[in-house]
Amino acid sequence: MKKQYEYNQLMDVKFQHQELIDISSIVNECDDKWFNQTLTRINDSVARIGIVEGEYHWHTHDDDDEFFFVLSGKLFIDLKGKTIELNPHQGVTISKGMAHRPRAPEKTVMLMVETAAIDPVGNDSIGV
């Protein structure tokens, strides 16, 4: 049984093809500390917006790579033995199977690209 976390993760596709995606309105309406919304589907992948502050839990995605791109704020991605710091207009791809923990010391807006089938919570209960 998966552990429950207090994240607001909306996996439904909010925007269809040819529909304008306005990130500013989503950010302005968000009161959550950790919020993900699937924006659109691109073939077998999705683009998601993350509006985050605080720490996510350590986890892996056994079958999926994840791409993080910071639009505003600052994101740290902890890996075993190192931390990647992302500032606005910087991104990184985390390989499938790699234990990681995203965290944001301030309100941070990021774009994520990943497979549509991914479970953002990942496989928890990992030893790091």
Q: What is the SS3 string spanning the chain? A: CCCCCCCEEECCCCCCCCCCCCHHHHHHHCCCCEEEEEEEEECCEEEEEEEEEEECCCEECCCCCEEEEEEECCEEEEECCEEEEECCCCEEEECCCCCEEEEEEEEEEEEEEEECCCCCCCECCCCC
pLDDT band per the 50, 70, 90 thresholds, residue 121: confident
pLDDT band per the 50, 70, 90 thresholds, residue 1: very low
CA 96/CA 101 separation, integer angstroms: 13
* Side chain identity, residue 54: G
pLDDT band per the 50, 70, 90 thresholds, residue 5: confident
Cβ–Cβ < 8 Å for 9, 36: yes
Instruction: Report the percentage of the chain scoring pLDDT > 70.
Output: 93
Which fold is adopted by the domain 8-115? Jelly Rolls (2.60.120)
pLDDT at site 122 = 85
Residues in the chain: 128
- Tokens at 41, concatenated: 């589907």
Indicate if the pLDDT at residue 19 is higher than 60: yes
Query: CA–CA distance from 50 to each of 1, 3, 14, 118 (Å)?
Result: 25, 21, 13, 15
Cβ–Cβ < 8 Å for 68, 86: yes
pLDDT at site 124 = 60
